Structure 1
Amino acid sequence: MINRRNFSKAVGLSTAAASLVGLQGVQAASAAPGKGGAPTPAVPDITPGTHTSFARLKQVRAGVLDVGYAEAGPQHGPVVICLHGWPYDIHSYVDVAPLLAAQGYRVIVPYLRGHGTTRFLSSHTFRNAQQSAIALDIIALMDALKIEKAVLAGFDWGSRTADIIAALWPHRVKALVSVSGYLITDVAAQKKPLAPQAEYAWWYQYYFATERGRMAMADKDNRRELCRLVWDTVSPTWGFDDATFARTAQAFENPDYAAIVIHNYRWRLGLADGERRYDRLEKQLAAQPYISVPTVTLDAERDPFTAAPGDGSMYRKFFTGKYAHHTLKGIGHDLPQEAPTAFAQAVVEADHL
């Protein structure tokens, strides 16, 4: 694994320049005809890290949660919901949100359960992080905000959540942007070994299966160090600074953070039970349902979780509607924060397929 701090110096290429290489395919889509034959609008290029905070942070009761979320753009604009992953938070979209707002979108960026200011309404609710429960959180959020239909865009846990909603409730999804493509989990399949290099990248998933891993996540200092290590290794070309990590690390102080993270990874390996009320949905998801909504998938070239050969062909069969794919050169796992212009352009492209 190349150290992100030395990579740019070694090859003479900044993170911003690297992202521009990957932008070519996405920005080319802006010249392609969209709905009605009109060109897809082009998103202006900005330097990653231009923005450091959100203007509006809100709370709303939705389902079993009091959800914290950022909002940008006109109140009555077409809605885009951006979903973060682990170990990240809403700041993965701190540059994306204003770009989309400038295009006329109402952008909603929620903290997932166990993150930031999102809280469970009851102390008695099981701290469940199985995939269907998190997807239903977003459906409940849409209902609470009276959003009938939205473009869903995500990476990591966010991609999985968006994929699930697009597969099971396509009438709620106008279009989809999914980093790493099709991430719906089949727990039975997860029990089978991967290639050694792929297993190596998932080291923390197996660490969290142990009591030592649980204790590390429960300890504030160990938790921050572990999450920082993940940032360093899965985004080797991203020259983020300490302040950037610290802004996101505040979201790890949620009292349910450790429980949610540990349950998510243990459940995915078949090592922790979910809740019976989700069994019907999990059975549907285990069948690997197709996604029919208009979709743009993105692969990050330097993300260790990008499936070889990295051109989207490994998961193309799961998307049966209008579709486009782009691979971003020189970009790592936190794609929307490392390449915000490319991500925002993909949202606009998906909306105009």
Structure 2
Amino acid sequence: MKTVTAGVLEIAYRETGPKDGLPTVLLHGFPYDIHAFDAVADRLAAAGHRCIVPFLRGYGATRFLSAQTPRSGEQAALGADLLALLDALAIDRALLGGYDWGGRAACIVSALWPERVLGLVSCGTGYNIQNIAAAGQPVSPEEEARYWYQYYFHSERGRRALVENRRGVCEYIWTIWSPSWSFDSETFALSAAAFDNPDFVDVVIHSYRHRFGGIPGDPAFAAIEAQLARQPDIAVPTMVLQGADDGVDPPSARDYDAPHFTAFYVRRILPGIGHNLPQEAPDAFADAVLHLGRYSG
């Protein structure tokens, strides 16, 4: 494990592959960690990629530099963290791949700083930039039910559940989001250790309350949030991978996100795969990264 000072964080990350390889940053989501990319990173490293897999803010060994920094989980903070990581590691341009929170960070950097991105692999929601202004608009009852955990975290009861039983809550989420994935207790425990980060609860709670416009964000990221409110297009080569069995974000037959992508764009739906796509289908994820690597080259 390595660390680097990047923006407001000391980011812990795992690096594999040749130092002069094609820079590739792989970003996990909630409630997962860097182990989601173990098999993906091994394969990409063997193919000559320099793979960097960081713990997001609030996870694992990543730490805030100051006790005074707001423990924000808003989307702009995640994007700013990724940009700061690229700067800290002196990476001019990289392939980005992620899902859930990590996919959001990758989409934000791809949209706002496309000159830093060689290609994007986005899983689940392809265009993973929140439209906070529309967050109060009701959706179908089926979709509302899938968001139970978000509404739960709006309450003090939900916050206490994360404080007192975060592993139980997160393991249940793993189960219902990936109903076809038979992970064992050892696999979950390997990732669950990352939830012991002292800022995990604060960052998670802020993320789910902020995205509905219920609480303010960190003023330091207000300018980025203003840009994201305009729902900017993504103009980098992109492959979107979606699990057909995703229990929280099931893919629709119609690709509603496609108009947001203005460069090379492909969407693939993988049968028998749930939400944690890189860990459930590492070869498919690695193939997408390798394809973009060849495309960008």
TM-score interval, smaller chain? over 0.9
Amino acid at match of 2:77: A
Distance 1:326 1:108 in 2: 24
1:189 aligns with 2:134: yes
1:300 aligns with 2:243: yes
What is the aligned-residue identity percentage? 49
Shift of 1:137: 0.7
Residues 242 and 225 of structure 1, relative CA distance in 2, 3 Å threshold? same
1:288 aligns with 2:231: yes
- CA displacement 1:85-133 (0-9 Å, x = unmatched): 0000001101100000011000000000000000001111111111111
Shift of 1:350: 1.9
Paired residues of 1:299 and 1:310 also in contact (CA < 8 A): no
Paired residues of 2:244 and 2:251 also in contact (CA < 8 A): no
Find the residue that maps to 1:153 and give its secondary structure: strand
Residues 340 and 350 of structure 1, relative CA distance in 2, 3 Å threshold? same
User: Which residue is 2:153 aligned to?
Assistant: 208
1:150 aligns with 2:94: yes
User: Which residue is 2:103 aligned to?
Assistant: 159
User: Which residue is 2:217 aligned to?
Assistant: 274
Shift of 1:308: 4.6
TM-score, L = length of structure 1: 0.82
Paired residues of 2:242 and 2:251 also in contact (CA < 8 A): no
Q: 2:279 aligns with which of 337, 345, 349?
A: 337
- CA displacement 1:300-330 (0-9 Å, x = unmatched): 100023355246x111100000111111000
Unaligned segments of structure 1, at least 5 residues: 1-56
Distance 2:284 2:75 in 1: 27
Shift of 1:163: 0.5
Residues 191 and 323 of structure 1, relative CA distance in 2, 3 Å threshold? same
Shift of 1:271: 1.2
Find the residue that maps to 2:198 and give its secondary structure: coil
Distance 1:230 1:91 in 2: 17
Considering only aligned residues, what root-mean-square deviation do their CA atoms show, in Å?
1.0
User: Which residue is 2:19 aligned to?
Assistant: 75
Find the residue that maps to 2:224 and give its secondary structure: helix
Amino acid at match of 1:183: N
Paired residues of 1:177 and 1:297 also in contact (CA < 8 A): yes
Distance 1:89 1:201 in 2: 22
Paired residues of 1:301 and 1:310 also in contact (CA < 8 A): no
- Residue correspondence of structure 1 range 99-138 to structure 2 within 5 A: 99-138=43-82
Aligned length, in residue pairs = 294
Unaligned segments of structure 2, at least 5 residues: none
